[in-house]
Structure 1
């Protein structure tokens, strides 16, 4: 529940989600569920030449089990809230 609560506090913030297939997706976090599935708005892809079919995607749902990393802006993280 710690990660779920943490990601819920980031709703509306811009995050970069790196997937296990090396695709990085940048977007605004719209929602997260208990399985850490993510919904992103205003999506952009890190390598549009490699993934041209994803250039037109503006909103996406990402299954939690395919996420490798979630990169956060440093100014959005406050560890004192969760300790």
Structure 2
């Protein structure tokens, strides 16, 4: 199953987090624990209209609820 995610490296993905926020970005790397490294990141918080913009970020796999490929 891990190899499926590796095929999406350098593609745009959207991640829903456990706190109901979501992150969208270009997948740079992923490991067996679903820890993710992203570039060109938009962070959407519930109740805030404009997303936060980051050059890059790391997402710990235990915070991931689902990944939209």
Q: TM-score, normalised by structure 1?
A: 0.72
Q: Highest Rg: 1 or 2?
A: 1
Where in structure 1 are there 5+ consecutive unaligned residues? 73-83
1:4-56 CA-partner distances (Å, limit 9, x unpaired) = 11110000000001100011000000000111100010001224864x8x824
More strand by share: 2
Where in structure 2 are there 5+ consecutive unaligned residues? none
Structure 2 equivalent of residue 71 of structure 1: 68
Q: CA RMSD in A?
A: 2.2
2:54 maps to which of 50, 53, 57 = 57
Counting matched residue pairs gives 69
More helix by share: 1
Q: TM-score, normalised by structure 2?
A: 0.85
